[in-house]
Amino acid sequence: MNFKVHFTTATLKTLNQHWLAALQKGHSQLLKRITALQLLAEGLRPEPIAQRLAVCLTTVYQWLAGFLRRGFASLSYGKSPGRKAKLDQDQRRHLASLIEAGPQACGFESAIWSGTLLAQLIERQWHLKFHPRYLPALLHQLGFTYQKARFVSDHLDQERRAAWLEQEWPAIVQQAQSKKAWLLFGDEASFAQWGSLAYTWSRRGQQPVVKTSGVRRAYKVFGLVDYFSGQIFYQAQTERFNSQSYCDFVAQVLSRTDPNQPIILVQDGASYHTSRQTREWLEQHSDRLSVYQLPAYSPDFNPIEKLWKKVRRQATHLHYFASFEELVQSVRQELERLSQHSSEVKQAIGSCLDKLVNHIELVA
């Protein structure tokens, strides 16, 4: 199609002013549109203009037709489709509080926040449309991460837990320091022959696979860890835990330590820890042993849990045990190694209870 475009000097001057304004605003699409009109006015054909501006030939014709029909009004772009303006700071804080309250508190049936639910929540609250794929970036900005939930017993006594941390625990530490006593936290762990799974790096779309024997047999370990030094004591067995085996384990620890060394034992409420047989035996050794109970359902107060986590990470995670003996050997080797590296154990357990106390003080 052969044609010529002629604009008046005033029109070209106004086009140039619009071009400069678009340049200052960084409006690349409008710059291309005005440039196309200027080049047409210079006598350049639409085909080379489309190639120079990297647009379709049809687009050049549409720009020209729009300008001929509507004049400079055609150079005004409306708001682009898609989501509206971002949430302001007050809206972000409100969104964070709603997320922390949980989906059910916000009227949804699900207890899990998904991108779709969050998009519905934002649209319901502020009439703003967010694509679910954008929401992870927004959530990271708000301080949220995608995490696996954990169970918390509905029998938790928060007042008892707080009192133990704020009052009993500092008193236990003071007693241990004044008597120069071992401060031992006790617990038990079972290591299954079928192994344990964990996160690891793998090719996208190729889930890691670990063989398992499927044998439901476990290697059971009594353990004690000193809060100050990281020194560990352990005793393994294949039978079920009971009061007699627990007393035998503590007796072994007594025999392996200085008879003049006081020991403070902190334990949970397992039945074989608090049975009549165990209480009577502990009372018989009260000259060396001072026993304290953790609050019920409070494994997070027990530093030895971090030790068990470390043993599993090294000895059983993603391991295949064709025989029970292989499991036993792997766990024993790791326990023996840690018993020779108390500083590593101390680093693993950290000072978790002291950090919890500090957290309570800060919140208060």
364 residues of the chain, pLDDT tens digit each: 567 788 888 888 898 888 888 877 778 788 888 988 888 888 888 888 888 888 888 888 888 888 888 888 888 776 555 444 478 899 999 999 999 999 989 988 888 898 888 999 999 999 888 888 888 888 988 999 888 777 767 778 889 999 999 999 999 999 999 999 999 999 999 999 999 988 888 888 888 899 998 888 999 999 999 999 999 999 999 999 999 999 999 999 999 999 999 999 999 999 999 999 999 999 999 999 999 999 998 999 999 999 999 999 999 999 999 999 999 999 999 999 999 999 999 988 876 676 555 544 433 3
Residue 25 is predicted with a pLDDT of 77
Q: How far apart are CA 58 and CA 52, in angstroms?
A: 14
In this prediction, residue 352 carries a pLDDT of 65
- Measured in residues, the chain has a length of 364
Q: How far apart are CA 194 and CA 323, in angstroms?
A: 10
Query: Residues 254, 285: contact at Cβ < 8 Å?
Result: yes
Contact 221, 188 (CB under 8 A): yes
Query: 15 in helix, strand or coil?
Result: helix
The reported pLDDT for the residue numbered 41 is 86
Cβ(327)–Cβ(316) under 8 Å? yes
Q: How far apart are CA 61 and CA 225, in angstroms?
A: 80
Q: What separation in angstroms does the CA of 182 have from each of 178, 214, 343?
A: 11, 40, 16
- Please give the angle made by the CA atoms of 246, 251 and 254, to the nearest 5 degrees: 135
Reduced to 3 states (helix: H, G, I; strand: E, B; else coil), residue 316 is: coil
CA nearest to 341, candidates 254, 232, 236: 232
Domain boundaries, the chain: 9-75, 89-141, 159-363
Return the pLDDT at 2. 67
pLDDT value at residue 363: 37
Neighbouring CB atoms inside 10 A of 180's CB total 9
Residue-level pLDDT at 362: 39
The topology (CATH level 3) of 159-363 is: Nucleotidyltransferase; domain 5 (3.30.420)
The DSSP annotation for 198-246 comes to ------TT------------EEEEEEEEETTT--EEEEEESSPP-HHHH
Q: What is the pLDDT of residue 115?
A: 86
